[in-house]
Chain A
Amino acid sequence: MFVSLNWLKQYVDLQGLTPEDLAEKITKTGIEVEGVEPFGEPIENLVVGYVKECNQHPNADKLNVCQVDVGDEVLQIVCGAPNVAQGQKVAVAKPGAVLPGNFKIKKAKLRGEESSGMICSLQELGIDEKYVPAEFAEGIFVFDGDPEIGADASSLLNLDDIIIELGLTPNRSDALSMMGVAYEVAAILDTPLHFPDEEVQITEEKAEDAVSVTVKDGDLNPYYGAMVVKNIKVGPAPLWMRNRLISAGIRPINNVVDITNYVLIEYGQPLHAFDYDRFGSKEVVVRRATEGEKIKTLDDEERTLSSNHLVITNGQEPVAIAGVMGGADSEVHEGTTTVLLEAAYFDPQAVRSAAKDHGLRSEASVRFEKGVDPDRVQRAGLRAAQLLSEYAGGEVLDGVVAYDDLSYEEKTVTFTTSRMNHVLGTDMNDAHIQDILRKLQFSYEQEGETFTVSIPTRRGDISLVEDMVEEIGRMYGYDNIPFTMPQGAGNAGGLTAYQALRRKVRRYLEGAGLSETLTYSLTTEERANLLMSPDVKGENVRPVHLAMPMSEEHSHLRLSALPEMLASASYNVARKQKDVAFYEVGSIYVTEETVLTKQPDEKERLAGVLTGSWLTHPWQQEKKNVDFYVVKGILDGLFDYLDIEEQISYQQGQVDGMHPGRTALIKLNGEAIGHVGQLHPTLQKGYDLKEAYAFDVDLEKVFKAISSEETYTPIPRYPSISRDIALVVDEGVAAGDLRKTILETGAPLVKNCLVFDVYQGEHLEAGKKSLAFSLLYLDPTRTLKDEEVEETHHAILDKVKEQYNAELRA
């Protein structure tokens, strides 16, 4: 809502506050001021001039040489506007004037003729082209009426106005009118209000003889008032009115339309003026449109209606979509002499759906959608009739022909002073509340500390005690509410075990060198189906898709973070950031339903993507690229950190989109919980990546495996014994299996078994490999004897020979 301060001053004394100070007060008390902007720039040496003579320029077809009386002198001005004429009163920028855009007016010769100044168009004075009345769009501006010659034209054109832009929240539609804003400002400043009256000179002729009103769907139109104004002379509205409309962001058209728009802004009540003679009948019939019914609206569009839409008809056919737009046929035009003036209350929902269906949100529909003040409907009609009689020569027929089923009573809200203080945490007394209610102009009754407040109809947003808490609180001033801390039973607060673990995982990964990413949950259908971990992928698991996506890019919910993370990696590599180590903790959305009947299972996953070099230390000739074991090592470290490494195993596995030979399923106590491996070369290529590695793990399952018991193992007091063995096996034997067997067979004495060498080649038979392990023997209770170690060692060798045909390497 744009509020002209010059206009607002007509209703309420602004007490000489600067626009900024006023804006600050309004913002702090109720409505956010989003901007304070000068309407124009007051221009010095801009005066009203009278064109005494206007003659064709001797040397130029399109120019005129004008003699212009500017009060203290007569200036010769060469003017190129097509509409300049003798007898006009115009805006003259005298030499020395500076127009917007730092355009300095100087004396000059144009094609040999002296020119001392400029006759201005509104555009040249800084008024936005979209608000310039059509008649002046292509030429100079011409004053109507009889402004004094030589008078300051800046103020006549309202160039000194300041516009305050209010950002209205949905509850404050009461401030969608100048009167509403005036109520608010008067309450803040505690000053009286001066509103126009609605007295109308009427003729003896009765409106009811000229028109009848029938409303067939009263639920959507509880009030419809029609007035008839005859002998209208359509022409320009007075300058002050046009100025105010422009300041409110509305382009002036003609006096009839401008008056309805003026009252719309002043009262917040949309009105419509029909050309009575072109209405098509003498009866107004309001009803739901029939399905498929058509109307040509005044923007010359033919629109098809449905039964959700309310229409005004002449008994036969629609002449307007109620509250949204009038029809072309009954539009007021230059020759209109009699006007049928509509002031109605339309159901917000009906207007909303019609405005939406036809893409016609307007100043009028917005106000109907929010619900207009029922008390102002008829008054606004009277005000418009008054202005039509004053500024369009109209004669108002006696009476308002109305359908009236609009029952409204002022609501009451009852509260006590102590309740106010209880909720606000304040220390107000009854007098504070009385004072605030007086400023708001809310009437009330008081009994002890109990107030029963009658809520004016203009404040449709207030119906509960809490609404009054807000009114009292904001007027008392939120700044005056003290700072306190909550009392009552306190919670200990803190993270849940799960949340604390998640943070630990993050810190571990960051310490291990990974950077956290945040990618979108919504992705393409293709990506949503890509790289699903084997533990996620089920026969019927499918990505959830949006009913109405905005784009294919964000249409499906992910089943792995990897596809989007790989896209991020690709983005970086394309920008010469070739080393990428990412992790992300986030949900995937698992369902087997094609049409959701229940929420998908949101599983929190840990995903990672690594590519490029892992370590580069050039001057010591160290360089290592990310490989499978770098990534696996990070996960090993994590599982060790979480103390579940003994429950974890890896197993060669096939995952769609992953390298078939370089991918492992991650198993927790035998159950797959994710995978780690290299991306399939084809997919790597698709992402424009070189070797890239990824992992994706079910975080919830990992956390569930963690034992909450924390125990202490005493530091061993007896020495351990270390034995190395190198075993030759078929190259297909997995080191992990071999190691597992060694540990199992060696229990309880073998505490650890490390792979320290893997060899294949020259000195070995083809198809064989050598795996070297370092075994650690320990008995925490005593010093081990060599023979015992020897015994276990042999048992191990026998076992691996039996199980894997493993030979001790010579």
Chain B
Amino acid sequence: MQERLVELKTEALEKVAQAEDAKALQDVKVQYLGKKGPITEVLRGMGKLPKEERPVIGQMANDVREEISTAIDEKQTKMEEAALEKQLQEETIDVTLPGRPAQTGGPHLLTSLIEEIEDLFIGMGFEIAEGPEVEVDYYNFEALNLPKGHPARDMQDSFYITEEMLMRTHTSPVQARTMEQHKGKGPVKVICPGKVYRRDTDDATHSHQFTQIEGLLVDKHVRMSDLKGVLNAFAKQMFGEEREIRLRPSFFPFTEPSVEMDISCKMCGGEGCSVCKGTGWIEILGAGMVHPNVLEMAGYDPNEYTGFAFGMGPERIAMLKYGIDDIRHFYTNDVRFLNQFHKA
């Protein structure tokens, strides 16, 4: 019987090895390990054996069974692996073919810049204030220390609608309105972005419509050094940690003292180049301490309250930052222009 078992084992293992597909393997399994298979038969015939041989043969039969079963399982696993391998091979695609395009759009460059600037100042505790684009003369001029007859408010420079109403020439009227809403109390801490209009013929450097973003802080102890600190923080975040700022005297009717802020030129690092016209500095914005007449007209006591204001042109900043040579690009909406600024 022992020989029979060894024979069966050899025979079965050979068939397992020869089995080419799952069916053949299953056949081998049924043939040798099935209830009617030869090993079962051997076990059944064990009754005829002497008592002491039974456990030996029983053990051996089980071992053979185990061995065949393991071989079948292994073979089965191998076959499955091969099948999967084949499937994977068949499913292989050319990953270098282009993907199905997802729609992508994006904000206008000026919106991106304005939002970026808003966020910088929000981080410093500012709120965003907005106001009408068709403005009354009082808020656009008078409340900003530009009384009637002032040369800077020539009819020729503004789009008037009636004698008392015009397209706002700057976002400063929002400052006047915001101060008025605060009824003589501080702090007023706002950023005012928006569209403005001037009587200019559109060309590479002029646009009859453009954007401005202004800031205002009025409180009891606002100093010019605070203006410097805030603008410095802004400039470093906006233009880079290594940029320096400087203030130069200037003139605006609604601030006194008035200054212009330059940043050190990024192109040459302050050495002087064509971008900064050899000065090493680039003018970025106008600013100053709020004029006492402006405070007073808005209901603030200039002896108690001081404030600073600043204003800049996103178009100019964009032109500097990206080397854009024509302001009309911002309003032509050529997709080849717009798309360039949709990248993160």
Contacts and interface: CB of A to CB of B under 8 A. Distances in A.
A470 B101 contact: no
Given A484-B225, A496-B128, A518-B330, A619 B97 contact: yes
A554 B208 contact: yes
B299 interface: no
A504 to B, nearest CB: 12
Contacts of B186: 488-489
Interface residues on B, range: 35 or more
Contact of B257 (A469, A496, A614): A469
A482 B334 CA distance: 45
A179 to B, nearest CB: 20
B333 A572 contact: yes
A622 interface: yes
Contact of B197 (A517, A522, A575): A522
A548 B155 contact: yes
Nearest to A618: B98
A543 to B, nearest CB: 11
Chain B interface mostly? mixed
A282 B92 CA distance: 110
Contacts of A483: 225, 228-229, 232
Contacts, number: 253
A550 B101 CA distance: 45
29 contacts: A27-B279, A32-B250, A349-B149, A422-B306, A424-B223, A425-B223, A466-B289, A469-B289, A478-B248, A478-B259, A488-B220, A488-B221, A489-B219, A490-B125, A491-B126, A492-B125, A493-B189, A512-B103, A513-B105, A515-B339, A517-B108, A520-B208, A521-B195, A522-B167, A522-B208, A544-B134, A547-B161, A596-B134, A599-B165
Given A30-B249, A493-B189, A484 B105 contact: no
A423 B248 contact: no
Contacts of A482: 225, 228-229
Interface stretch (A7-15, A581-589, A707-715, A788-796): A581-589
A491 B162 CA distance: 38
B313 interface: no
Interface string A548-589: 111000100100000001001001100101001111001101
Given A483-B232, A546-B159, A617-B100, A514 B306 contact: no
B225 A481 contact: yes
Interface in A408-448: 422-426
Interface string B83-103: 000000000000001101111
A220 to B, nearest CB: 15
A785 B186 CA distance: 65
B284 to A, nearest CB: 14
Contacts of A469: 256-257, 289
B310 interface: no
Contact of B229 (A485, A595, A599): A485
A522 B209 contact: yes
Contacts of A517: 108, 333, 338
Contacts of B135: 599
A803 interface: no
Contacts of B334: 571-572, 575, 577
Contacts of A489: 186-187, 219
A169 B165 CA distance: 27
A580 B97 CA distance: 25
Contacts of B251: 169-172
Contacts of B105: 509-516, 581, 583
A506 interface: yes
A495 B306 contact: no
B151 interface: yes
B136 A516 contact: no
A602 interface: yes
A669 B191 CA distance: 35
Interface string B328-342: 001111111011001
A242 B220 CA distance: 56
A493 B107 contact: no
Given A470-B257, A493-B189, A495-B128, A169 B250 contact: yes
A494 interface: yes
A493 B229 CA distance: 18
A522 B159 CA distance: 10
A493 B125 contact: yes
A486 interface: yes
A493 B124 contact: yes
A522 B200 CA distance: 13
A583 B106 CA distance: 10
Interface stretch (B22-30, B40-48, B66-74, B115-123): B115-123
A521 B209 CA distance: 8
Contact of A520 (B103, B230, B279, B331): B331
Contacts of A602: 132-134
Interface residues of A, number: 97
A499 interface: yes
B111 A516 contact: yes
B243 interface: no
Interface string B284-302: 0000010110000000000
A31 interface: yes
Contacts of B223: 422-425, 484
Contacts of A171: 251
A177 B29 CA distance: 115
Contacts of A589: 133-134
Contact of B199 (A496, A550, A596): A550
Nearest to A619: B97
A144 to B, nearest CB: 38
A540 interface: no
Given A467-B256, A550-B208, A572-B333, A495 B122 contact: yes
Nearest to A602: B132
B19 interface: no
A582 B103 CA distance: 12
Interface pairs A-B: 3 shortest CB-CB: A513-B103, A425-B225, A425-B223
B5 interface: no
Contact of B292 (A29, A464, A583): A464
Contacts of B125: 490-493
Contacts of A614: 103
Contacts of B208: 520, 522, 550, 554
Contact of B152 (A170, A514, A550): A170
Interface in A2-30: 24, 27-30
A499 B128 contact: yes
Contact of B256 (A470, A493, A511, A557): A470
A547 B162 contact: yes
B33 interface: no
A568 B108 CA distance: 14
Given A486-B217, A493-B123, A493-B124, 18 more contacts: A27-B248, A32-B260, A423-B223, A424-B225, A470-B256, A474-B249, A478-B246, A478-B259, A479-B247, A486-B226, A512-B105, A513-B102, A521-B197, A522-B209, A581-B105, A582-B333, A583-B105, A619-B98
